[in-house]
Structure 1
């Protein structure tokens, strides 16, 4: 393991070394009895200095720091522990040492210090480590907000065993440790407006449509049943007309379109975190009701699709990927115009049953959303108050 190392010397020790050198030189000009004691004293001082230099140079040769768990996942407001292991495989111990860990302020270390200037939180742990010893420390923390906390600084401060100064050893290793904090789920009013809309492939308990590829049995003929649905073999066997019964199906796919910009299109929406919490709630609702969904956010991406996105899917794994994307969403980064995102969805995405716009929308953007609506999708708007069929600022836009 590689460390960037520097020392903070005490001025007393170099002074003693200088005095010892002078004594050793002067001993040759005085009597033997006095010279013997002076030489021994000078040699002792020089020996301590040499051992001090050796300790400083080699104390980290076999020293290692590890974080056993690569990724830790939490919801906002959870409690957890960060494990860090320090091992000395060499013969040089550490006494009265101090471990310093700095992470993003997505988490808050219990008993730590918040550095607002760097958006960081730091923790200090005193410890002793003998030679060939391995110790594991658990640092308690709480998750303060949505995001990903990474380790930016790990350092060990230790006094020099044979000197009067301190040694600072900063790890140059890029640790893969991450604490991923999912947004909390904030309930959405009027979510019951999202009902099945038209024929498709999503199975449902109650629907106006049948999937003719999924027969589930037969039932007695009822007035109004289509002639082509009569099961003739079952009718002959039962002695009365039988009708084929099919799996109910409906297309209830959702598409979330998130605009993180404010009403002027320059900054970030002031309540974007609250809107992301409501989006997480709707994704959880979709997962529990087996509704497939996709997500687009106007934050730039280096992928083939130039926006942060999640392709259509359903189930628990898809939901976990959704939370991961929301957690990793950096708002103070490169963004794209929302019009570009809408144009991309219009040209490259199949029309979903429901389009759910999240955030502010300008008149030009609303026109693009209406064009998507004319292709067969139902358009809804999600704001701090819940889900709505019309955008609250739409009346003001048109005067």
Structure 2
């Protein structure tokens, strides 16, 4: 464990020791035994204090902390930090932590500036002892919070001065605050253009493993669709009927570029996407997420692959907790053109973006193959869903 030590007040301590030594010598010369004993005691205290503060904290270790804590906005979780000390005890010390402000310590003595909370708690630990520091944290806003600085201060017992030890090693601990989720009151309908497993009243596709009845034979029916047992019983040809089905999976495309002169546009988009994710999880709908934030890899933008269930839900919320409006972004039109070049689009596509009129050209082409939703309702609150046979759009 590497500590960067800063020592204050040692100059005055050394001067006091020098003065005590001079007066001790004069007292011995003039045979002043009582004064010599007093100055010898002062000198001894100074020597012991000097040796103690030269070595205190060198064996102090911060044990590994919990790697990741998860919060909802307004909920509390304890941050537990455990220290292990060496031979020299630490008395009447202070522990100062700096933490990014997505979470807020539930303490009275706080300082907040430049996106950082600074706070101090008492700190003492005996010789060869372990001590646990428990600090309650509250989810304050969506984001990722890390401990940026750890300082232990050991004050001098006699006189002014202290030893400041700043931890040079990084603290491998993260606090994820999930976005606020408002229950989604709309409906995502299956697309009639692709085969799948979702029942649909009107669909071009049928599940041959789910027969639902029979009907009279017509010349356009295939030979293998004839139900011979029912035909013998009815004394006329009967055709099998199957459950109409379609595919239902959703591609969410988030425009992370903020609308000009609009505060909080990015956060509202993220919250809107979190509400969609919650809806899909509750209704067991597979989905994937694309965000025009630059990354490094095979794809230059964020892409969470299609999945369903609680694992996909947790991955999505962790992704949404970590992205920031400060991340580098790619023009939204470039992302849409890249997706259009794919051979296969999802049955339902949701564009979460401002200025929806800019993307009507993509909407017109894609709506011939799938259901397309252009959602800008987060700007003014969800008041209505406008549905039509060829398009579904959301407006405030």
Q: 2:46 and 2:159 mapped to 1: Cα distance?
A: 7
Equivalent of residue 278 in structure 1, options 272, 276, 280: 272
- Give 3-state SS (helix, strand or coil) of 2:163's partner: strand
Alpha-carbon offset, residue 72 of structure 1: 0.9
Alpha-carbon offset, residue 329 of structure 1: 0.8
Q: Cα distance 1:196–1:10, how it changes in 2: closer, same or farther (>3 A)?
A: same
Equivalent of residue 64 in structure 1, options 41, 61, 65: 61
Q: Cα distance 1:383–1:220, how it changes in 2: closer, same or farther (>3 A)?
A: closer
Equivalent of residue 152 in structure 1, options 142, 148, 151: 148
Alpha-carbon offset, residue 113 of structure 1: 5.0
Work out whether 1:53 is the aligned partner of 2:50: yes
Work out whether 1:9 is the aligned partner of 2:6: no
Equivalent of residue 126 in structure 2, options 130, 134, 149: 130
Equivalent of residue 259 in structure 1, options 227, 230, 255: 255
Q: CA RMSD in A?
A: 3.2
Q: 2:109 and 2:64 mapped to 1: Cα distance?
A: 21
Aligned twin of 1:223: 216
Alpha-carbon offset, residue 111 of structure 1: 1.3
Work out whether 1:322 is the aligned partner of 2:319: no
- Give 3-state SS (helix, strand or coil) of 1:221's partner: strand
Q: Cα distance 1:38–1:282, how it changes in 2: closer, same or farther (>3 A)?
A: same
- Give 3-state SS (helix, strand or coil) of 1:318's partner: helix
Q: 1:82 and 1:214 mapped to 2: Cα distance?
A: 55
Aligned twin of 1:105: 101
Tell me whether 361-370 or 323-332 shows the greater mean CA deviation. Answer: 361-370
Aligned residues: 383
Q: 1:219 and 1:174 mapped to 2: Cα distance?
A: 63
Q: 1:245 and 1:269 mapped to 2: Cα distance?
A: 55
Q: Cα distance 1:294–1:224, how it changes in 2: closer, same or farther (>3 A)?
A: farther
1:224-278 deviation digits (Å, cap 9, x = unpaired): 684432355x6699998886675653122211111122344xx776333223222
> Which sections of structure 1, spanning at least 5 residues, go unmatched?
394-399
Work out whether 1:195 is the aligned partner of 2:155: no
Alpha-carbon offset, residue 71 of structure 1: 0.7
1:48-77 deviation digits (Å, cap 9, x = unpaired): 333333322322222112353111112222
Alpha-carbon offset, residue 92 of structure 1: 0.8
Q: Is the 8 A contact 2:191 2:370 kept in 1?
A: no
Alpha-carbon offset, residue 327 of structure 1: 0.3
Q: 2:319 and 2:164 mapped to 1: Cα distance?
A: 37
Equivalent of residue 291 in structure 1, options 285, 292, 310: 285
Q: Cα distance 1:195–1:219, how it changes in 2: closer, same or farther (>3 A)?
A: closer
Work out whether 1:174 is the aligned partner of 2:170: yes
Q: Is the 8 A contact 1:3 1:171 kept in 2?
A: yes
1:189-221 deviation digits (Å, cap 9, x = unpaired): 4x12x21222545422445448767614x5653
Q: Is the 8 A contact 2:215 2:241 kept in 1?
A: no
Aligned twin of 1:397: none
Alpha-carbon offset, residue 103 of structure 1: 0.9
Tell me whether 48-57 or 203-212 shows the greater mean CA deviation. Answer: 203-212
Q: Is the 8 A contact 1:186 1:277 kept in 2?
A: yes
Q: Is the 8 A contact 2:216 2:239 kept in 1?
A: no
- Give 3-state SS (helix, strand or coil) of 1:55's partner: helix
- Give 3-state SS (helix, strand or coil) of 1:343's partner: helix
Alpha-carbon offset, residue 112 of structure 1: 4.7
Normalised by the size of structure 1, how large is the TM-score? 0.83
Q: 1:316 and 1:224 mapped to 2: Cα distance?
A: 46
Alpha-carbon offset, residue 183 of structure 1: 0.8
Equivalent of residue 335 in structure 1, options 320, 324, 329: 329
